[in-house]
Structure 1
Amino acid sequence: MEQQKKATSYLSISSMVCGIISIILPMAGFNIVVGIIAIVLGVIGKNDVINNQKDGLGFAKAGIICGIIGIAIWLLFLIIVGSTLLTFMH
């Protein structure tokens, strides 16, 4: 008896790719946009996996987590640069 392979959610895979990009390419606000896209695609992909019985739940979760980390890195960078500039201005 041969099992049929489930389809993998492309939204989940796209979410993970965007999440990874948001972490490894921190360019002047670019990663916050890609991080938000990763989170949105991850949530939609997670629903796609659950509602349509597809594979890819791990990809969706990874995309959401990486997107959050990418945004956190950008915010941390913004705080560090801002506080450094304020220090030099005084």
Structure 2
Amino acid sequence: MASIRTYSLIYVALLLLGTAQFALFEIDLIEFGYWTALAGVLVFSVAKILLVAGYFQHLIEEPRAITYMMGTAVFMVFLLTVAAGFSIQ
């Protein structure tokens, strides 16, 4: 189990990533195009997902077989979503 220091660092990282996501679209100091900002938000979202799943849901301590199974499940959900998108068109 991780220490309180680790959880605090993860919390700060999540806070900074969330602030960066907001800043990409709302702060006009640096001009990002829509697609660049969207790509940045997606990258930050994946980083946040990995931090939450790894540390707060304790998946980082699980055996690798469970990690591969979860990765396969996420990939299958992605494929199902893509297939559903094609059937809607």
Bucket of the pairwise TM-score, normalised by the shorter protein: 0.3 to 0.5
**Structure 2 length normalisation: TM-score?**
0.40
Higher helix share: 2
Structure ranking higher on relative contact order (CA contacts 8 Å, 6+ apart): 1
